[in-house]
Amino acid sequence: MAQVGIVPDTIVPADIDETPKPGELPAQLAARLAFEKALYVSENTANEANMLVLAADTVVSIGRRILPKTETRDAAHDCLTALSGRGHRVSTGVCLFAEGACVAKRLVTSRVRMKTLDAHDIETYLASGEWRGKAGGYAIQGKAARFVTRIVGSYSAIVGLPVFETVAMLSGVGFTVTEDGEDNGS
C-alpha cells in the first residue's frame, strides 16, 4: 500500500485458525480467511470513529490442492517440487470493515506458471530462506521471480494484496489519497 501512498496507522496480526474446512476450495479459503481476519481485528481492537480494518489472505493451489504457507524447509521443498514446470493459481481475498461491519470484499485469482526447476534451483532458493511463511513456498517479488515464466492476472495480488481492487474498495467508503499520501476524505 505504501507504493500508492497509503500507510496504515496500525498493523494488527489476526490470530485465527487458517486450516481449510473439509471440501473448501482454494478461492473460498482465501475469501473466508480475509473475512475472518478482518472480523477478528475489528472485534479485538478499540473501534475508533472512522476506523477502517483491511485484511487479506493469499492461497496458492494446484487444481483443488491447497499448498501450505511453508514453515519448514521440507514443506518448501515439496511445494517447489510440485510447482516445478506447472501452472498454479494464486487466490487473494481482501475484506474491508468499517464501524465493525464488513463493507466490501474482493477475491482476485491469478494464474502463474513456473519453469521446470532443477535441484540446484530449488536448493539455492531454499538457502535464501525467502520461502518462510510464504503461501506455496515462494515469494514472487523476490528471488523466485526468476522461476516465473508467465502471469495471467494481478501481480500485486500474487504478492499478497491486489492494489487496484484494494484502492477501489477504500475509495468506495470515501477514503481517498492525495499525492502526498495523506487521507483526504474519511
> Catalytic residue numbers?
57
Phi, psi angle pair for 89, to nearest 5°: -115, 145
Half-sphere exposure of 152 (CA within 13 A, CB side): 5
Burial (CB count within 10 angstroms: exposed 0-12, middle 13-18, buried 19+), residue 140: buried
- Which value, in Å, is the radius of gyration of the alpha carbons in the chain? 17
Buried/exposed 87-116: b ≥16 CB within 10 Å, e otherwise: ebbbbbbbbbbbeeeeebebbbbbebebee
d(CA 120, CA 97): 45
35, 112 in Cβ contact below 8 A?
A: no
5, 177 in Cβ contact below 8 A?
A: yes
